[in-house]
Amino acid sequence: MDYALIEYLADFLTPERNDLFDRVLDLRTRYLTVVLEDIYQPQNASAVLRSVDCFGVQDVHVIENRNSFTVDREVAMGASKWLNVHKYTENESNSLDAIKHLKNQGYRIVATTPHEGDTDLEAFDLTKGKTALFFGTELTGISDVVKEEADEFLKIPMYGFTESFNISVSAAIILHYLTLKMRNEETINWQLSEEEKAAIKLAWIRRSLKRSELLEKRYHELQKKGI
């Protein structure tokens, strides 16, 4: 990681913007991540992205089997600009590819759906390790592949006649509860590493500065000259 490059580019930000980036990064996490499987309503998808950013989760994994993932900019309010969005679109088994990738990164696969042996949100044990929260389509929920491969099942207790929450509401409720619980649990190492913070900050700076590539070119020219 070229920390000198980050420092160089950060000088072109306002001090307030630079400080904001650092404050947000100190509260960012990859201990929790969100996985969206075949979401087809742009408003719902965009609302989830907005909640993910607001609750300080850095990564979203998007599975496209039958439906393309699109973002409604007015709903998302620019949230995708600050997130790492990973897409799985190349194979017939995109859901399985996402699961394998996340498991290799040390995540347990948690399907957010009622199921035999499921766990109520309030009883979910975050200390067991990094958690990938899977949310399925608006009509049919998560796929059978996810159900078969899931390590655990999580549900939100409900007390009315309606069987489920809207997906964006479900994501917001779960993220609010789990991020609060995570930050208050002293045994969980949920913060980003310094290298992760630097990589994300560099991406944010590049998205914030006009013609950042020209500034980087100038930086490398100065480096070659030993300036």
The DSSP code for 146 is: H
Instruction: Give the model confidence (pLDDT) of 121-174 as tens digits.
Output: 999 999 999 999 999 876 778 889 999 999 999 999 989 988 778 889 999 999
Instruction: Give the model confidence (pLDDT) of 53-83 as tens digits.
Output: 999 999 999 998 876 676 655 544 578 889 9
Integer Cα distance of 185 and 194 in angstroms: 21
Say which CATH class 29-190 falls into. alpha beta
* 162 annotated as a binding-site residue: no
* Paired residues of 154 in beta bridges: 112, 119
State if pTM tops 0.85: yes
Torsions phi, psi of 93, nearest 5? -105, 50
Under 8 Å CB-to-CB from 26, ≥6 apart: which residues? 191, 197
Task: Give 2-61 as a DSSP string.
Answer: -HHHHHHHHTTS-HHHHHHHHHHHHT-BSSEEEEEES---HHHHHHHHHHHHHTTB-EEE
* 156 annotated as a binding-site residue: yes
